[in-house]
Structure formats: C-alpha cells, structure tokens
Structure 1
Amino acid sequence: MNVFEDTMNIVQGLNTAASGTSYALTVQYPEALLPCLDTVGRQLPLRQFSAPTKVRLFEAYAACQDELSYMYEEAAKLLGKIVICNTEWVSAGTSAPAVNAMTIQTALNGRQHEAEQLAFRTGSMARAELAAEPTPTIAMKLIEAVRDQTLQLLSSLNRQLAYLNAIEQVGTIDWIADDVCRYSFFANKVTDRKINSSTRSRVEANQRRTTTRNDFDRTFEHTRVTHDVIDALRHPLPADHVEMPPRVKMLVDEIPSWLHGVSAVVTGFEISEERNSRRAVVDQWSESHTTVEELPVQRRERTHYDPALIIGPYVLTGWN
C-alpha cells in the first residue's frame, strides 16, 4: 500500500457514512520509476485532505500544486545537466558552446525530432462544480487528481530519460546477476579549431577601428562506452564515500530526493570495455557537415575500480 492509497483509506474511514463511495485507483504506473510514487506522495501535504471543511480541502489541493510544480522544475534541471556532465569542451579561443543533446545529434545525424518538454500543467479540479459536491466526495476526487498528476510527473520524466537513451545520451544497465552487470554510457567531446583569421580596418569619426574575424570548425566526437563489471554494489545517494570527479558530483547534487529511491552509484571492478565512436566536423557558419566518420571500435580487457550513476535502468554517466 502506498501513501496515496493509505490517505484515501483514512479519508474513506472518516467519511464512509457520509459518502458511501469508494474510488478505485486504476492509473498504470510508469514502470521504471514506480518506487518513487510513494516517496513523492510523502512530500505532498496529503494528510490535509482529511480536513472537515471544503476550504481546507482546496487549500491542501493548492499546496500540492505548488509542490508538484517545484518537482517538475527539479526534474527539468536534472535533465538539462546530463549532457553538460558528459561533454568535454576543448577551447581554441572561443567561448563555451551551448551544447545540448540536439546540438550533438544534429551534428552527427542531422536534425531529429525533439522530445516533448517537461512542463507542469496546473490541475483543473478547483471548480465550482466540484465544490458543490459533498465534502467527502471532494476529498476523494482531489486526492485522486493529485495522484494522477504525480503519475504524470513520473511518466513524463521516464519518457524523457527513454528519449535521451534513444538519441544516445543516456545509457542503460543490465544486471546479469546480483553482483554482475553490463552498462553503457555516453561521452561527448567538442573541439573548436581555428582555421582562418582575417583583419579589417576602417576609419570612423577620425578614429581607426580594427575588426578581427576568426573562423573555426567544430568537431563533435561521440562515444558509447560499454563496461562489464563484477563485484558490483549499489550505493544509495548521496554516496559521499565514493570518490567522484566534480562533474559527477554536480550531477548527483541535481538528483532530487524524491528520486533517491531508484537512484544509486554502482561500483565494481571492470573486466572489459568497448568503445564505439563517431566524429563529425561542422563548419562554424553554415553548420554543414565537413566530414562524418565511424572510428575503429576499441576493446580492451582490464580490471579496475569502475563506478556509474544510475536512475532505475538508466545510466546517466560513468567514470574511473
């Protein structure tokens, strides 16, 4: 029994005589993030729905809307940091590029369909028609509506992670045994190379102005890294005892507490690695491909300590 069912049972127990109605919970859970449902519910003011007045019920509903809106913001912020965490940028005197998943995919594969935006939609239950219902009916319908919104949050986040997996920015983990796994993650390297420099001078208001134009090409190197790992252990977040580079620590800090139930740092000993890489060179001005090439597959067998950061079946990043 999760916190939503528990709350509804409490409300039903308080008001069965008045309402005589039981509301079935029929919404399907998003499988990968299912354990988060109860965690999210416990951060919402659901207990306030046992209040005896309509005003208190709608106040509880409004408070839930505020909390869910904030959770959407947390999830969107996390998604935005994943590609940043996994991208190395090599400067040639330019400012840091605005690299995101679509920038990299456009360079390697041409423009692709973008995922839906992760955006909170305010509930539509605070209406006069519902307020005219008996208080117990209002309570049950508001709880069910908040639960549906929570499921939508988890489902939307799950779809976003699945989308990042489909465009090769988030990997997956496969547990072969309790302590043996194979996982993949992705690494991006963006390099700007100066290919030309030109200077132009002109006189304006008795002053000479000089303008220098530097032309660059930009190389995108995209690598799928696959590791086979033994003696694998899951460490609950924040997993402060596991040594992490700053980029990974930044990403761990972005994972909201309500996702900790399905998140972990996995450690173990890598016994083999495979790296599949592609490289694209893009003209700075036309954004057209100069060249796209598949690099030779690299395989090696070795044994060393090997961590990764996961949410459910998804691998956000790996390091060693």
Structure 2
Amino acid sequence: MGDVAFDDLRFVESLGLHCSWDVLDHDLGTLARIGPEQVAAAARLVRTGDVFALNLPLTEPDPPLFRRDPLRHTIFALDRNNLDDRLDSFHPQGSSQWDGLRHVRAREHGYFGGYTEDFTPGAGPLGIEHWAARGIVGRGVLLDVGHHRELLGDPLDAFAGDMIGAAELQEVADAQGVALVHGDIVLVRLGWVTAYRRLDGPDREEIAQRPRASGLRADEAVARWLWDSGAAALGIDNPTVEPIPGDAAIGSLHRRLIPMLGFALAELLDLDALAQACADDGRWDFQFVAVPLGVPGGVGSPSNAVAIR
C-alpha cells in the first residue's frame, strides 16, 4: 500500500480534520500498512528469544476506571474431574486494550469510512473480528519518553496532564537512534503504569473517580507525525493516549486518529520490563505480536500483546 502524505489526505471542512477514508481498507484501518514484507522483517529482529508480555492482569486497574464494574471470575465444576470458569462484568477495554474502529465516531460524519449506522453485536463493518482474523504482527518500536525525560533531568509526572508533542516524540526517537519505517507499531512509554503501581488504596480510589494522565498532545501535529511516519498502530502505557483532562481548544486525539485516520490504538500497556531490556542493550525495536479477541462486531479487545527480542 502506497503512502499518501498527511497534507494530501481529504480534508473535512466541517470538522477541520483530515481523513484517510479513501486510502485505507475500512475494516483494517492503519493495520493495512502491515503486509507480508513487514511481518517477515519483524521476525528477523528476534535475537535472544526473550518474550515480554505487555498486558496488565484483567483485574487492573483496580478499582476500574471510567465507571466500569469490577471483573467477576467464577470457577465451577463441570463434574468430579473437570473445572470450568466464567467471567462476568467483563469489559474488553477495562485493562490493557485495543480501541477498535467502532469505538469513536466523528459526530454526524460517523465512524471510520463514513459509517453512520448504530452498530449492534454480530459480524459487520469495523468489528474487532477483522483485526483478530489476521492478528497484529510487525516491527515494534519503543519510544521511552519517561526515560528520556529522566536523562534530561526533567522527570515526567504521569498524572499531571502534561502534553507530549510531535517534536518531543521525534526527539526521543533521535536520541534512541531509531528510525520509524512504514508499517511500524509504535509504543510510547510515559511511566503511567509505573506511577500507578506505586499508589496506595486511597490514591487508586481517587484515580478511579477522577482519572488523570499525561499523554500525547491532541493536535494536528501529532496526527501528522504518526501518519507520515507510516505507523500501523500506536500503543501507550496510559489509559487514554491523550491527556486527562483534555483541552477542548486543542480537540480530541481519539477523534483525529480513530474515525478520521483509522488508527489502531492500544492503551494501558505494561511496557516497563520491555523498556528496561531495551535500555540495557540499546536496541529499541523488536517483533510485536498481538491477537485481539475475535468477538464479532466487537468495539475493543484486551491487548493480548507480546514483544519478542
């Protein structure tokens, strides 16, 4: 699939946003940028065979964010010799997750590709099952913004609502000596999961009631940087990609990226162990593998992701 520059994408005047509806497969979105060539090249990045799971337990964050109910896990006997289990109040986007293309719409313009109908369960356009059918496999690149800030003596407060812009993302990539190429899965570590793990019970309760996070600046420059880098997906270790609370004057990065550009977004990834390994040997790229749940018509999915070095 050939690249179209961000500034050459169709511009929707009433939203003031660019869209890739005429460029990408509607069910795959930016994942269409990953082909056999990118998958094979990613396999060649495996050197030590070390595997890093990038997922929090399904029960974290605890308490759940955004008014979700806690996951309930029941184990029961099928008979004397066999057990089964059941999950209730299971929110596929309650922990480490993929935001699918049904997750966000752009007002009257609809979801990615211009779909304006109200979606219902079952196979159909933009459902997460289209991602599950092929998996998400490619070259992963970690940009450790948190570590970079520490090296500069300007630590990032993961809960302060700070905004990381396109220039800083490029600065981190340059400092790490890594170049993004077409089809990359870009992972950004801010240190939100690290900071969350340090919280005691009352502070976690407060975060659940009033979520706070630093994140990527929700402006056109970040959308342009991600698109023109050739990224096939973006993963991050905070709950929302963009800061919480947001800034209405800047806009919504979710709206820019999901319904307009078709980006696959992963949130609340556990990147700490991977980041340490990358920092230890200076190798910031790896094979990335994820298989979303094949829920027909699904809006999102647990991330189910690993990095292989």
> So what's the TM-score if we normalise by structure 2?
0.22
Name the one with the larger helix percent. Answer: 1
> So what's the TM-score if we normalise by structure 1?
0.22
Task: Say which structure, 1 or 2, has more relative contact order (CA 8 Å, 6+ apart).
Answer: 2
